[in-house]
A and B are shown apart, each in its own frame.
Chain A
Amino acid sequence: MEGFSIETLKEESDTSETKLLIRGFLDAHTVDHFERSLDEAQEKGFKTIILDFSSLDYISSAGIGSLMNYTKIMKDKGGELIILRPTDKVYRIFDLLGFSKIFNIKR
C-alpha cells in the first residue's frame, strides 16, 4: 500500500517514552511493518509508546487487531500504548467497534 510510513518523533530515556508518527494506511499489507516498529521500541526498553495517529488515513480490522494485541502486551509488561489525535474517521471506527474505551486515546 502506498504512503505507509513510521517516523520516530521522540525517544526519551528519562521517562522511558517514545513517540511514533504513523502515516497512511494501516491494513493487512502494512501491519507487519507496524508491528516491527512496536517490537523495536519495546526491545529498546520503552515503557510508554505513543502512536501519533493524526496522519493515519485508514485502519482496517487487521490494524485494529494488532493495536488490541499490543495494548494488552504493553499492559501486561506494566507499560502503556497511547493513541494520540486519531482523525475523526479513524476514531469513528474505534467508537463503532466499542474500542474507544479499551484503547488509551488522547484526542
Chain B
Amino acid sequence: MKEFVNFFSNPLVLGILFLLILRIYYAWMQRKLAAVEEESEQLEKQKEIAYNFLEKAGNILLSGDQLEERLEEIGSFIAEALGADSGAIFLRHDENYVKARAIFGEGIFPPLIQTIDKVFTSKKFIKEKILSDVVPIREARLIGHVLQTGQSQVITDGTNDPRIPRSANELIEIKSLLIAPLRVNEKILGVCVLVNKRSGESFSNYDQSLFENLVNYAALMLDLLYLTHEVREKQNLQQEIQLANEVQQLLLPQNLFPLEGYDLYAYNKPAKELGGDYYEVLELGNNKIGVAIADVSGKGVAAALVMATLRSFIKVEAPRFVDKPKELVEHLNHLLFKDTKEDMFITLAYGVLDTETGVFKFARAGHEQISIFSPGNSMPKEYCPKGMAMGIVSPDSFHLEESSVTLRDEELLFLYTDGVTEAMNKYQDEFGIERVRDVVQANCQKTTKEICGILLEEIEAFTGGISQYDDITLVLIKRDKKKYRGEQ
C-alpha cells in the first residue's frame, strides 16, 4: 500500500497520468464535436430537403392533375429524399375502409395487405392489384394499425416480422420499412409507407425523424388538395347553376313583339341565380293577347322547375281559353295542384287584352293587385278580384273572381311581383306600394321602357345597392294610339 502511494507521488508518474487524462478528454471532446457537427449537418440536410419539398409543394398544388398523380409526385419526393426503393400512400376510403392511392419508387412495392398466393413477376400487375383493392381498415394489418393508432413505426428486419405477410416477403425481401400517419388536426387521413433503402442498409433513427417531418408536410398538402378539390366542385356547381340561369332567361320572352297601338315593356331580375318569377305576353289571335305574371314561392332549382312547368302549361292551354281567363287559371291550378310540394305555391295574375277595344279581362290567383295609371289622375285604379294562390287547394274548392276593365288611350296597365314593393334598405324598410304608385304616376306619360328604368333607379337608390331578397318582375302595357298611326 505504501509503495502504491509512493508510486503515485512520483512527479514523473503524475505527469504521465495527467497527460493521459488530457489525451482521453481531448479524444472524447473531438468525438463529441464530430457528433455535433454530424447532427448539424443532418439538420442542415433536413432543412434543405424540407425547403425543396415546400418549393415543390407549391407547383403540385397549382397543377391541375388528378389527386392520384399529385400524391405520386409527393410520394416520389419523399422516397427519393430517403433513398427508399419503393413506397405507397394509402388513404381512408371512408369510415371503415382504406385504399392505396399512389405507388412510387423504382422498386416493387410489396402487397402489405393483400395475400397473394402466386408469385407474380409483373410489377405492373401487382401495382394494379394493390391500387384497385378497397380493404376494411381492421383487416389492413400494419397499415390499419397505424391508421387507428396514429403511431409511426420503423421495422428493421421485415423478413421475420409478424406484422408483414409472408407472401410480401416472398415477392421481395423486406429488410426495412418506415410507416407514418398523414395527420391533420388530430384527423388521420391516411398513411405513407417506404420499403427498403436502395443502399441495402436499414432505415436509421435519423431517417425516421426526417420521414415523419416530410409526411407531416405531405399531410398538410393533402388537406389543401382536398380543400381545392371541394372548391373546384363548388365552382362546377356554380357553372351548372349559371347555365340553368341562362336557360331560364331563355324561357322568358326575349323581346316582346311590337303591337300596333300599344307600347309594351317587361323586366325580370332574379335575386339568386335561379328565380321563381315568370311573365309572358302571348299572341292569341283575333287581336287578343294573353298577359301573365307569376311568382313561385321559394327560389332555387325547385322553384325554377315549377316555373318552367307553369310556362309550358300556359303556352299550351292559353289558346284554348281565349275569352275565359278565369277558367284558364282554374285549369292551371288543376294541372299544378298535384305536382307542387306542400310548402310551395304559385301566385299568378292572368288576363286577356282585346287590343281593338282595350278591354282587359283578368283573374288573380293570390297575386299582387293589377293597376291602371292614367296621366290625368293622381292615383292609379287598383283591382284585386278574389282568388287564392295556386297549388294549395284541390280544384273543387278553388274558385276565382273575374274582373274586366277598359284601357283607354295613354293609360298604363301595370303588373308587378312582390320583389318590387318588398325591396328593402339596410334599415329593413320596404320600398312599398306607395312609392311604386308615386313614381309610376309621376312618370306615366313617358314610354313604358322609360317608366320601368326610372322605377328601377328609384328602387336602387332606396335599397342603396344591398342585395335583393326577392326577384323583381314588371310588365307594363300602355295604350298609345299614336303608335297606331305610325307616329312613334
Report whether B344 and A65 are in contact in the complex, using a CB–CB cutoff of 8 Å.
yes
Instruction: List 19 interface pairs A-B (beta carbons < 8 Å), by A numbering.
Output: A27-B469, A58-B428, A60-B470, A61-B345, A62-B297, A64-B297, A65-B342, A65-B343, A68-B342, A68-B345, A72-B342, A96-B366, A97-B388, A98-B387, A98-B388, A99-B366, A99-B388, A101-B388, A102-B393
With a cutoff of 8 Å between Cβ atoms, the chain A residues found around residue B297 in the complex are: 61-62, 64-65
Interface string of A26-45 (1 = CB under 8 A from B): 01100000000000000000
Q: A61-B297, A98-B366, A102-B393 are in contact. Are A68 and B343 (CB under 8 A)?
A: yes
Instruction: Answer yes or no: B347 CB below 8 A from chain A CBs.
Output: yes
Give the Cβ gap from A49 to chain B, nearest Cβ, in Å: 17
Cα distance A65–B300 in the bound complex, in angstroms: 15
Q: A60-B469, A68-B392, A102-B392 are in contact. Are A96 and B368 (CB under 8 A)?
A: yes
The smallest beta-carbon distance between A30 and chain B, in angstroms, is 12
B-side contacts of A28, CB under 8 Å: 298-299, 469
Contacts of A54 in B (CB 8 A): none
Measured CB to CB, the nearest residue on chain A to B386 is: A98
Rounded to whole angstroms, the CA-CA distance of A28 and B272 in the bound complex is 12
> Which A residues are CB-close (under 8 A) to B299?
28
A residues with a Cβ closer than 8 A to B are 25, 27-28, 57-58, 60-62, 64-66, 68-69, 72, 96-99, 101-102
In the complex, A98 Cα to B344 Cα: how many Å? 14
Query: Is B50 at the interface (CB under 8 A from chain A)?
Result: no
Across chains A and B, which 10 residue pairs bring their CB atoms closest together, nearest first? Answer: A98-B388, A65-B343, A61-B297, A97-B366, A69-B343, A69-B342, A97-B389, A65-B297, A98-B366, A66-B343
Report A-chain residues with C-beta under 8 Å of the C-beta of B388: 97-99, 101-102
**Shortest Cβ distance from A70 into B: residue:** B343
User: Whole-angstrom distance between the alpha carbons of A72 and B469 in the complex?
Assistant: 27
Q: CB of B330 within 8 A of chain A?
A: no
User: CA–CA, A58 to B470, complex, Å?
Assistant: 13
Contacts of A57 in B (CB 8 A): 428
Can you list, as one digit per residue, whether each of B105-128 has a CB less than 8 Å from chain A (1) or not (0)? 000000000000000000000000
Q: Tell yes or no: B282 within 8 A of A by CB.
A: no
Q: Are A97 and B347 in contact (CB under 8 A)?
A: yes
Provide the bound-state CA to CA distance between A102 and B389, in Å.
11
A-B contact sample (13 more), CB < 8 A, given A27-B469, A61-B295, A99-B389: A28-B298, A61-B297, A61-B345, A62-B298, A68-B345, A69-B343, A72-B342, A96-B368, A97-B345, A98-B389, A99-B366, A99-B392, A102-B388
Closest chain-A Cβ to B389's Cβ sits at a distance in Å of: 5
Judging by beta carbons under 8 Å apart, are B345 and A65 in contact?
yes
- Which B277-302 residues have C-beta < 8 A from chain A? 295, 297-299
A97 to B369, CA, bound (A): 11
Tell me the smallest distance from the CB of B270 to a CB of chain A, in Å: 14
Residues of A close to B368: CB separation below 8 A: 96
Give the CA-CA distance A66 to B297 in the complex, in Å: 11
